[in-house]
Structure 1
Amino acid sequence: MTERTRTAPRQAEAERNDRALLEAARRALALDGAHASVAAIASRAGVGIGSLYRRYRTKEELFQRLCVLALDHWIDAAEQGLAHEDPWAGIVHHVSACVDFGPGTMAPIAGTIEVTEEMAARADRCDEVTRALVSRAHAAGVLRPDVTATDLYLLVEQLGRSPLPWQIADQGRDELLGAATEARARVVAIALEGLRAGTVTPLPGRPPDAGLLRDRWEPLPAAG
Protein backbone atom coordinates (compact mmCIF):
# COMPACT_ATOMS: atom_id res chain seq x y z
CA MET A 1 0.00 0.00 0.00
CA THR A 2 1.44 3.35 -1.01
CA GLU A 3 1.54 6.41 1.24
CA ARG A 4 -1.00 8.10 -1.04
CA THR A 5 -3.36 5.13 -0.69
CA ARG A 6 -3.06 5.26 3.10
CA THR A 7 -3.56 9.03 3.23
CA ALA A 8 -6.68 9.24 1.05
CA PRO A 9 -9.09 7.57 3.54
CA ARG A 10 -7.78 9.70 6.40
CA GLN A 11 -8.20 12.85 4.34
CA ALA A 12 -11.72 11.86 3.33
CA GLU A 13 -12.60 11.21 6.98
CA ALA A 14 -11.17 14.59 8.02
CA GLU A 15 -13.26 16.33 5.36
CA ARG A 16 -16.40 14.52 6.53
CA ASN A 17 -15.68 15.49 10.12
CA ASP A 18 -15.14 19.11 9.07
CA ARG A 19 -18.47 19.23 7.24
CA ALA A 20 -20.19 17.65 10.24
CA LEU A 21 -18.58 20.16 12.63
CA LEU A 22 -19.62 23.16 10.55
CA GLU A 23 -23.18 21.91 10.20
CA ALA A 24 -23.31 21.14 13.92
CA ALA A 25 -22.00 24.62 14.75
CA ARG A 26 -24.60 26.21 12.47
CA ARG A 27 -27.42 24.30 14.14
CA ALA A 28 -26.04 24.96 17.61
CA LEU A 29 -26.02 28.71 16.92
CA ALA A 30 -29.59 28.54 15.64
CA LEU A 31 -30.82 26.70 18.72
CA ASP A 32 -28.48 27.91 21.50
CA GLY A 33 -27.11 31.22 20.22
CA ALA A 34 -23.61 32.43 21.06
CA HIS A 35 -23.58 30.32 24.24
CA ALA A 36 -23.29 27.11 22.21
CA SER A 37 -20.40 25.19 23.74
CA VAL A 38 -17.56 23.49 21.90
CA ALA A 39 -18.41 20.23 23.65
CA ALA A 40 -22.03 20.44 22.49
CA ILE A 41 -20.95 21.17 18.92
CA ALA A 42 -18.55 18.23 18.88
CA SER A 43 -21.20 15.95 20.36
CA ARG A 44 -23.79 17.09 17.82
CA ALA A 45 -21.29 16.42 15.02
CA GLY A 46 -20.53 12.96 16.36
CA VAL A 47 -16.80 13.62 16.74
CA GLY A 48 -14.48 13.88 19.71
CA ILE A 49 -13.62 17.30 21.07
CA GLY A 50 -9.98 16.54 20.25
CA SER A 51 -10.91 16.24 16.57
CA LEU A 52 -12.56 19.64 16.72
CA TYR A 53 -9.49 21.29 18.22
CA ARG A 54 -7.20 19.62 15.70
CA ARG A 55 -9.16 21.34 12.95
CA TYR A 56 -9.98 24.62 14.74
CA ARG A 57 -7.71 25.93 17.45
CA THR A 58 -10.49 27.91 19.13
CA LYS A 59 -14.25 28.27 19.05
CA GLU A 60 -13.69 31.72 17.55
CA GLU A 61 -11.79 30.20 14.64
CA LEU A 62 -14.63 27.73 14.05
CA PHE A 63 -17.19 30.54 14.04
CA GLN A 64 -15.04 32.67 11.73
CA ARG A 65 -14.94 29.81 9.23
CA LEU A 66 -18.69 29.40 9.54
CA CYS A 67 -19.19 33.11 8.84
CA VAL A 68 -17.13 32.85 5.67
CA LEU A 69 -19.26 29.94 4.48
CA ALA A 70 -22.47 31.85 5.25
CA LEU A 71 -21.20 34.89 3.33
CA ASP A 72 -20.18 32.68 0.39
CA HIS A 73 -23.65 31.17 0.32
CA TRP A 74 -25.25 34.63 0.35
CA ILE A 75 -23.04 35.72 -2.56
CA ASP A 76 -23.83 32.58 -4.57
CA ALA A 77 -27.57 32.99 -3.97
CA ALA A 78 -27.46 36.66 -5.01
CA GLU A 79 -25.45 35.91 -8.14
CA GLN A 80 -27.88 33.15 -9.08
CA GLY A 81 -30.73 35.60 -8.46
CA LEU A 82 -29.10 38.12 -10.79
CA ALA A 83 -28.83 35.40 -13.43
CA HIS A 84 -32.63 35.01 -13.49
CA GLU A 85 -34.24 36.78 -16.44
CA ASP A 86 -37.18 37.75 -14.22
CA PRO A 87 -35.99 40.23 -11.53
CA TRP A 88 -38.76 39.17 -9.15
CA ALA A 89 -37.86 35.50 -9.54
CA GLY A 90 -34.30 36.53 -8.74
CA ILE A 91 -35.38 38.13 -5.46
CA VAL A 92 -37.47 35.07 -4.56
CA HIS A 93 -34.60 32.70 -5.31
CA HIS A 94 -32.13 34.72 -3.29
CA VAL A 95 -34.32 35.04 -0.20
CA SER A 96 -35.48 31.41 -0.28
CA ALA A 97 -31.98 30.01 -0.76
CA CYS A 98 -30.54 32.16 2.03
CA VAL A 99 -33.30 31.28 4.47
CA ASP A 100 -32.72 27.58 3.79
CA PHE A 101 -29.03 27.96 4.66
CA GLY A 102 -29.73 30.16 7.66
CA PRO A 103 -27.13 32.96 7.62
CA GLY A 104 -29.22 34.67 10.29
CA THR A 105 -27.83 32.13 12.74
CA MET A 106 -24.58 34.13 12.68
CA ALA A 107 -26.26 37.16 14.26
CA PRO A 108 -25.81 36.06 17.91
CA ILE A 109 -22.02 36.09 17.59
CA ALA A 110 -21.81 39.62 16.18
CA GLY A 111 -19.36 41.63 18.27
CA THR A 112 -18.01 38.52 20.02
CA ILE A 113 -15.43 37.42 17.43
CA GLU A 114 -12.77 39.23 15.44
CA VAL A 115 -13.74 40.07 11.87
CA THR A 116 -10.98 38.64 9.68
CA GLU A 117 -9.81 40.16 6.41
CA GLU A 118 -11.45 37.23 4.62
CA MET A 119 -14.78 37.93 6.31
CA ALA A 120 -14.57 41.65 5.52
CA ALA A 121 -13.82 40.99 1.85
CA ARG A 122 -16.76 38.60 1.59
CA ALA A 123 -19.02 41.13 3.31
CA ASP A 124 -18.02 43.78 0.74
CA ARG A 125 -18.95 41.42 -2.07
CA CYS A 126 -22.24 40.61 -0.34
CA ASP A 127 -23.10 44.31 -0.26
CA GLU A 128 -22.22 44.70 -3.93
CA VAL A 129 -24.35 41.84 -5.25
CA THR A 130 -27.26 42.57 -2.90
CA ARG A 131 -27.44 46.20 -3.99
CA ALA A 132 -27.35 45.05 -7.61
CA LEU A 133 -30.18 42.60 -6.98
CA VAL A 134 -32.33 45.24 -5.28
CA SER A 135 -31.54 47.95 -7.85
CA ARG A 136 -32.51 45.67 -10.73
CA ALA A 137 -35.81 44.76 -9.05
CA HIS A 138 -36.54 48.44 -8.38
CA ALA A 139 -35.79 49.36 -11.99
CA ALA A 140 -38.15 46.62 -13.18
CA GLY A 141 -40.89 47.93 -10.89
CA VAL A 142 -41.37 44.60 -9.11
CA LEU A 143 -39.92 45.48 -5.69
CA ARG A 144 -41.58 48.09 -3.53
CA PRO A 145 -39.49 51.27 -3.81
CA ASP A 146 -39.05 51.76 -0.06
CA VAL A 147 -37.27 48.41 0.39
CA THR A 148 -33.48 48.67 0.71
CA ALA A 149 -30.67 46.13 0.55
CA THR A 150 -30.39 46.36 4.34
CA ASP A 151 -34.08 45.52 4.66
CA LEU A 152 -33.37 42.39 2.64
CA TYR A 153 -30.50 41.45 4.97
CA LEU A 154 -32.71 41.89 8.02
CA LEU A 155 -35.61 39.94 6.53
CA VAL A 156 -33.40 36.99 5.64
CA GLU A 157 -31.77 37.13 9.06
CA GLN A 158 -35.08 36.94 10.89
CA LEU A 159 -36.54 34.23 8.68
CA GLY A 160 -33.31 32.25 8.67
CA ARG A 161 -33.20 32.10 12.44
CA SER A 162 -36.45 30.13 12.59
CA PRO A 163 -35.19 26.81 13.96
CA LEU A 164 -38.44 24.83 13.65
CA PRO A 165 -37.19 22.15 11.20
CA TRP A 166 -33.96 21.73 13.15
CA GLN A 167 -35.83 21.48 16.45
CA ILE A 168 -38.06 18.79 14.99
CA ALA A 169 -35.03 16.92 13.62
CA ASP A 170 -33.25 17.15 16.99
CA GLN A 171 -36.29 15.66 18.66
CA GLY A 172 -36.13 12.73 16.27
CA ARG A 173 -39.72 13.35 15.16
CA ASP A 174 -39.16 12.57 11.51
CA GLU A 175 -42.89 12.29 10.87
CA LEU A 176 -43.19 16.05 11.50
CA LEU A 177 -40.14 17.18 9.55
CA GLY A 178 -41.93 17.55 6.22
CA ALA A 179 -44.71 19.61 7.77
CA ALA A 180 -42.20 21.82 9.61
CA THR A 181 -40.26 22.50 6.41
CA GLU A 182 -43.47 23.35 4.55
CA ALA A 183 -44.58 25.64 7.36
CA ARG A 184 -41.37 27.64 7.15
CA ALA A 185 -41.68 27.83 3.35
CA ARG A 186 -45.17 29.30 3.79
CA VAL A 187 -43.86 31.98 6.14
CA VAL A 188 -41.13 32.87 3.63
CA ALA A 189 -43.74 33.15 0.86
CA ILE A 190 -45.90 35.41 3.05
CA ALA A 191 -42.91 37.65 3.75
CA LEU A 192 -41.97 37.79 0.07
CA GLU A 193 -45.43 39.04 -0.83
CA GLY A 194 -44.77 42.01 1.45
CA LEU A 195 -41.80 42.96 -0.75
CA ARG A 196 -43.81 43.24 -3.95
CA ALA A 197 -44.35 46.62 -5.56
CA GLY A 198 -47.87 47.99 -5.28
CA THR A 199 -48.24 47.46 -1.55
CA VAL A 200 -50.30 50.37 -0.21
CA THR A 201 -49.16 50.58 3.42
CA PRO A 202 -45.77 52.35 3.72
CA LEU A 203 -43.03 50.86 5.84
CA PRO A 204 -42.62 52.44 9.28
CA GLY A 205 -39.67 54.62 10.21
CA ARG A 206 -36.64 55.58 8.19
CA PRO A 207 -34.77 53.12 5.95
CA PRO A 208 -32.04 51.42 7.99
CA ASP A 209 -28.51 52.61 7.32
CA ALA A 210 -26.14 50.02 5.85
CA GLY A 211 -23.83 50.54 8.82
CA LEU A 212 -26.45 49.18 11.19
CA LEU A 213 -25.50 45.59 10.47
CA ARG A 214 -21.78 46.14 9.99
CA ASP A 215 -21.26 48.16 13.15
CA ARG A 216 -22.57 45.43 15.44
CA TRP A 217 -19.64 43.23 14.40
CA GLU A 218 -17.20 45.68 15.97
CA PRO A 219 -15.74 44.23 19.18
CA LEU A 220 -17.65 45.25 22.29
CA PRO A 221 -15.69 47.49 24.69
CA ALA A 222 -14.30 45.76 27.73
CA ALA A 223 -16.32 46.29 30.88
CA GLY A 224 -14.72 48.94 33.07
Structure 2
Amino acid sequence: MARKAPRHAEAERNDRALLEAAKKVLAKDGAHASVAAIAARAGVGIASLYRRYRTKEELFQHLCALSLGHWIEAAERALKYDDPWEGLVHYATATIDFGGGALGPLAGTISVTDEMAEKFTRSDTLAQALVARAHEAGVLRADATVADLGLLIEQLGRSSPVEQFEDRDDRTLADEAANARSRTIAIALDGLRAGHPPLPGHAPAADLLAERWEYEPER
Protein backbone atom coordinates (compact mmCIF):
# COMPACT_ATOMS: atom_id res chain seq x y z
CA MET A 1 0.00 0.00 0.00
CA ALA A 2 2.81 2.42 0.87
CA ARG A 3 4.35 2.07 -2.58
CA LYS A 4 1.06 3.04 -4.24
CA ALA A 5 0.62 6.24 -2.25
CA PRO A 6 3.13 8.38 -4.20
CA ARG A 7 1.59 7.33 -7.53
CA HIS A 8 -1.89 8.08 -6.21
CA ALA A 9 -0.80 11.53 -4.99
CA GLU A 10 0.81 12.25 -8.34
CA ALA A 11 -2.36 11.19 -10.16
CA GLU A 12 -4.41 13.57 -8.00
CA ARG A 13 -2.00 16.43 -8.70
CA ASN A 14 -2.18 15.71 -12.40
CA ASP A 15 -5.98 15.59 -12.25
CA ARG A 16 -6.12 19.01 -10.59
CA ALA A 17 -3.71 20.45 -13.15
CA LEU A 18 -5.63 18.89 -16.05
CA LEU A 19 -8.96 20.19 -14.76
CA GLU A 20 -7.63 23.74 -14.42
CA ALA A 21 -6.01 23.53 -17.85
CA ALA A 22 -9.15 22.09 -19.44
CA LYS A 23 -11.29 24.91 -18.10
CA LYS A 24 -9.00 27.51 -19.63
CA VAL A 25 -8.49 25.74 -22.96
CA LEU A 26 -12.19 24.94 -23.34
CA ALA A 27 -13.06 28.56 -22.63
CA LYS A 28 -10.96 29.56 -25.63
CA ASP A 29 -11.33 26.63 -28.02
CA GLY A 30 -14.71 25.17 -27.07
CA ALA A 31 -15.51 21.49 -27.61
CA HIS A 32 -12.76 21.27 -30.24
CA ALA A 33 -10.10 21.73 -27.56
CA SER A 34 -7.29 19.29 -28.10
CA VAL A 35 -5.94 16.94 -25.46
CA ALA A 36 -2.43 18.01 -26.48
CA ALA A 37 -3.23 21.66 -25.67
CA ILE A 38 -4.72 20.72 -22.31
CA ALA A 39 -1.80 18.46 -21.42
CA ALA A 40 0.74 21.11 -22.42
CA ARG A 41 -0.97 23.77 -20.31
CA ALA A 42 -1.16 21.36 -17.36
CA GLY A 43 2.48 20.35 -17.74
CA VAL A 44 1.49 16.71 -18.15
CA GLY A 45 3.10 14.49 -20.75
CA ILE A 46 0.71 13.45 -23.49
CA ALA A 47 2.05 9.89 -23.42
CA SER A 48 1.49 9.49 -19.68
CA LEU A 49 -1.96 11.03 -20.06
CA TYR A 50 -3.00 8.45 -22.65
CA ARG A 51 -1.63 5.67 -20.48
CA ARG A 52 -4.24 6.64 -17.91
CA TYR A 53 -7.09 7.73 -20.17
CA ARG A 54 -7.65 5.62 -23.25
CA THR A 55 -9.54 8.29 -25.19
CA LYS A 56 -10.23 12.02 -25.25
CA GLU A 57 -13.82 11.28 -24.23
CA GLU A 58 -12.70 9.28 -21.20
CA LEU A 59 -10.51 12.19 -20.06
CA PHE A 60 -13.34 14.68 -20.47
CA GLN A 61 -15.79 12.41 -18.65
CA HIS A 62 -13.39 12.16 -15.73
CA LEU A 63 -12.88 15.93 -15.63
CA CYS A 64 -16.65 16.51 -15.68
CA ALA A 65 -17.08 14.17 -12.71
CA LEU A 66 -14.32 16.01 -10.84
CA SER A 67 -15.98 19.35 -11.61
CA LEU A 68 -19.34 18.13 -10.33
CA GLY A 69 -17.60 17.07 -7.14
CA HIS A 70 -16.61 20.70 -6.56
CA TRP A 71 -20.22 21.83 -7.03
CA ILE A 72 -21.34 19.23 -4.48
CA GLU A 73 -18.70 20.28 -1.98
CA ALA A 74 -19.68 23.95 -2.34
CA ALA A 75 -23.37 23.17 -1.83
CA GLU A 76 -22.76 20.96 1.21
CA ARG A 77 -20.68 23.71 2.81
CA ALA A 78 -23.31 26.34 1.92
CA LEU A 79 -26.06 24.37 3.67
CA LYS A 80 -24.07 24.57 6.90
CA TYR A 81 -24.37 28.37 6.98
CA ASP A 82 -26.86 29.61 9.57
CA ASP A 83 -27.90 32.45 7.29
CA PRO A 84 -29.67 31.11 4.16
CA TRP A 85 -28.65 34.13 2.06
CA GLU A 86 -24.99 33.88 3.08
CA GLY A 87 -25.09 30.18 2.26
CA LEU A 88 -26.54 30.84 -1.17
CA VAL A 89 -23.93 33.53 -1.86
CA HIS A 90 -21.16 31.18 -0.75
CA TYR A 91 -22.40 28.50 -3.11
CA ALA A 92 -22.70 30.85 -6.06
CA THR A 93 -19.38 32.58 -5.41
CA ALA A 94 -17.49 29.33 -4.84
CA THR A 95 -18.79 27.73 -8.04
CA ILE A 96 -18.22 30.90 -10.06
CA ASP A 97 -14.65 31.22 -8.76
CA PHE A 98 -14.07 27.56 -9.56
CA GLY A 99 -15.19 28.22 -13.11
CA GLY A 100 -18.73 26.94 -12.93
CA GLY A 101 -19.90 26.03 -16.39
CA ALA A 102 -16.42 26.13 -17.90
CA LEU A 103 -16.90 22.56 -19.09
CA GLY A 104 -20.24 23.50 -20.60
CA PRO A 105 -18.87 23.36 -24.18
CA LEU A 106 -18.60 19.58 -23.72
CA ALA A 107 -22.37 19.26 -23.33
CA GLY A 108 -23.78 16.94 -25.98
CA THR A 109 -20.34 15.99 -27.29
CA ILE A 110 -19.58 13.16 -24.86
CA SER A 111 -21.69 10.39 -23.38
CA VAL A 112 -22.74 10.79 -19.75
CA THR A 113 -21.27 8.15 -17.45
CA ASP A 114 -23.07 6.69 -14.45
CA GLU A 115 -20.70 8.63 -12.19
CA MET A 116 -21.49 11.90 -13.95
CA ALA A 117 -25.24 11.25 -13.76
CA GLU A 118 -25.07 10.33 -10.08
CA LYS A 119 -23.06 13.44 -9.20
CA PHE A 120 -25.29 15.70 -11.27
CA THR A 121 -28.35 14.37 -9.44
CA ARG A 122 -26.66 14.91 -6.07
CA SER A 123 -25.56 18.43 -7.05
CA ASP A 124 -29.04 19.34 -8.27
CA THR A 125 -30.67 17.99 -5.09
CA LEU A 126 -28.38 20.11 -2.93
CA ALA A 127 -28.98 23.21 -5.06
CA GLN A 128 -32.73 22.64 -4.76
CA ALA A 129 -32.35 22.51 -0.99
CA LEU A 130 -30.36 25.77 -0.96
CA VAL A 131 -32.94 27.57 -3.06
CA ALA A 132 -35.88 26.19 -1.06
CA ARG A 133 -34.24 27.27 2.21
CA ALA A 134 -33.62 30.78 0.87
CA HIS A 135 -37.21 31.02 -0.39
CA GLU A 136 -38.59 29.91 2.96
CA ALA A 137 -36.47 32.55 4.71
CA GLY A 138 -37.81 35.20 2.34
CA VAL A 139 -34.34 36.31 1.22
CA LEU A 140 -34.44 34.98 -2.33
CA ARG A 141 -36.79 36.52 -4.88
CA ALA A 142 -39.86 34.32 -5.23
CA ASP A 143 -39.56 33.96 -9.01
CA ALA A 144 -35.91 32.79 -8.99
CA THR A 145 -35.42 29.07 -9.64
CA VAL A 146 -32.59 26.58 -9.43
CA ALA A 147 -32.28 26.78 -13.21
CA ASP A 148 -31.90 30.58 -13.00
CA LEU A 149 -29.16 30.15 -10.42
CA GLY A 150 -27.34 27.51 -12.46
CA LEU A 151 -27.46 29.62 -15.63
CA LEU A 152 -26.18 32.67 -13.74
CA ILE A 153 -23.28 30.69 -12.29
CA GLU A 154 -22.42 29.27 -15.70
CA GLN A 155 -22.39 32.67 -17.40
CA LEU A 156 -20.31 34.35 -14.67
CA GLY A 157 -17.99 31.35 -14.39
CA ARG A 158 -16.77 31.44 -17.96
CA SER A 159 -13.46 32.92 -19.09
CA SER A 160 -12.86 36.34 -17.58
CA PRO A 161 -10.46 39.26 -18.17
CA VAL A 162 -8.55 38.06 -15.11
CA GLU A 163 -7.31 34.99 -16.98
CA GLN A 164 -6.53 37.04 -20.07
CA PHE A 165 -4.28 39.37 -18.10
CA GLU A 166 -2.69 36.45 -16.26
CA ASP A 167 -1.83 34.91 -19.62
CA ARG A 168 -0.11 38.17 -20.51
CA ASP A 169 1.77 38.00 -17.21
CA ASP A 170 0.50 41.42 -16.15
CA ARG A 171 -0.10 41.16 -12.41
CA THR A 172 -1.26 44.75 -11.90
CA LEU A 173 -3.98 44.57 -14.53
CA ALA A 174 -4.89 41.04 -13.40
CA ASP A 175 -5.49 42.36 -9.87
CA GLU A 176 -7.61 45.21 -11.23
CA ALA A 177 -9.60 42.75 -13.34
CA ALA A 178 -10.13 40.52 -10.30
CA ASN A 179 -11.44 43.48 -8.31
CA ALA A 180 -13.80 44.45 -11.12
CA ARG A 181 -14.99 40.86 -11.49
CA SER A 182 -15.81 40.53 -7.79
CA ARG A 183 -17.93 43.69 -8.07
CA THR A 184 -19.73 42.32 -11.12
CA ILE A 185 -20.50 39.08 -9.29
CA ALA A 186 -21.82 40.97 -6.26
CA ILE A 187 -24.06 43.10 -8.49
CA ALA A 188 -25.41 40.01 -10.26
CA LEU A 189 -26.08 38.12 -7.03
CA ASP A 190 -27.85 41.12 -5.55
CA GLY A 191 -30.37 40.68 -8.37
CA LEU A 192 -31.41 37.42 -6.70
CA ARG A 193 -32.50 39.15 -3.50
CA ALA A 194 -36.16 39.45 -2.64
CA GLY A 195 -37.82 42.77 -3.35
CA HIS A 196 -36.94 43.28 -7.01
CA PRO A 197 -39.53 43.71 -9.80
CA PRO A 198 -40.68 40.43 -11.42
CA LEU A 199 -38.34 38.79 -13.89
CA PRO A 200 -39.33 38.88 -17.58
CA GLY A 201 -40.72 35.87 -19.38
CA HIS A 202 -41.28 32.52 -17.71
CA ALA A 203 -39.07 30.37 -15.52
CA PRO A 204 -36.57 28.19 -17.41
CA ALA A 205 -37.43 24.51 -17.65
CA ALA A 206 -36.07 22.66 -14.64
CA ASP A 207 -34.10 20.26 -16.84
CA LEU A 208 -32.77 22.92 -19.24
CA LEU A 209 -29.15 22.45 -18.22
CA ALA A 210 -29.39 18.66 -18.10
CA GLU A 211 -31.04 18.43 -21.52
CA ARG A 212 -27.93 19.86 -23.18
CA TRP A 213 -25.99 16.79 -22.14
CA GLU A 214 -28.13 14.41 -24.20
CA TYR A 215 -25.60 12.73 -26.45
CA GLU A 216 -26.26 11.24 -29.85
CA PRO A 217 -23.14 9.61 -31.32
CA GLU A 218 -22.42 10.32 -34.96
CA ARG A 219 -23.41 7.56 -37.33
Q: TM-score, normalised by structure 1?
A: 0.90
**What residue number does 1:208 align with?**
204
Question: Distance between the aligned counterparts of 1:32 and 1:163, measured in 2?
Answer: 14
Q: Is the 8 A contact 1:18 1:55 kept in 2?
A: no
Q: Does the residue aligned with 1:85 lie in a helix, a strand or coil?
A: coil
**What residue number does 1:161 align with?**
158
Q: Does the residue aligned with 1:57 lie in a helix, a strand or coil?
A: coil
1:66 maps to amino acid: L
Question: Distance between the aligned counterparts of 2:29 and 2:94, measured in 1?
Answer: 23
The share of aligned pairs that are identical, in percent, is: 62
Q: Does the residue aligned with 1:89 lie in a helix, a strand or coil?
A: helix
Q: Which runs of 5+ in 2 are unaligned?
A: none
Say whether 1:48 aligns with 2:45: yes
Aligned residues: 219
- Structure with higher Rg: it is 1
Question: Distance between the aligned counterparts of 1:80 and 1:4, measured in 2?
Answer: 32
Question: Distance between the aligned counterparts of 1:9 and 1:79, measured in 2?
Answer: 29
Question: Distance between the aligned counterparts of 1:172 and 1:25, measured in 2?
Answer: 19
Question: Distance between the aligned counterparts of 2:9 and 2:82, measured in 1?
Answer: 39
Q: Is the 8 A contact 2:24 2:159 kept in 1?
A: no
Question: Distance between the aligned counterparts of 2:55 and 2:181, measured in 1?
Answer: 33
Find 1:125's aligned residue among 116, 122, 127: 122
Question: Distance between the aligned counterparts of 1:100 and 1:106, measured in 2?
Answer: 14
Question: Distance between the aligned counterparts of 1:216 and 1:48, measured in 2?
Answer: 32
Q: Which runs of 5+ in 1 are unaligned?
A: none
Question: Distance between the aligned counterparts of 1:222 and 1:14, measured in 2?
Answer: 32
Once the two structures are TM-superposed, the CA of residue 19 in structure 1 deviates from its matched residue by 2.5
Find 2:172's aligned residue among 148, 171, 175: 175
The Cα RMSD (Å) is 1.9
Q: Is the 8 A contact 1:71 1:103 kept in 2?
A: no
**What residue number does 1:20 align with?**
17
2:206 maps to amino acid: A
- The range that moved more, 135-144 or 208-217, is 208-217
Find 2:61's aligned residue among 64, 74, 94: 64
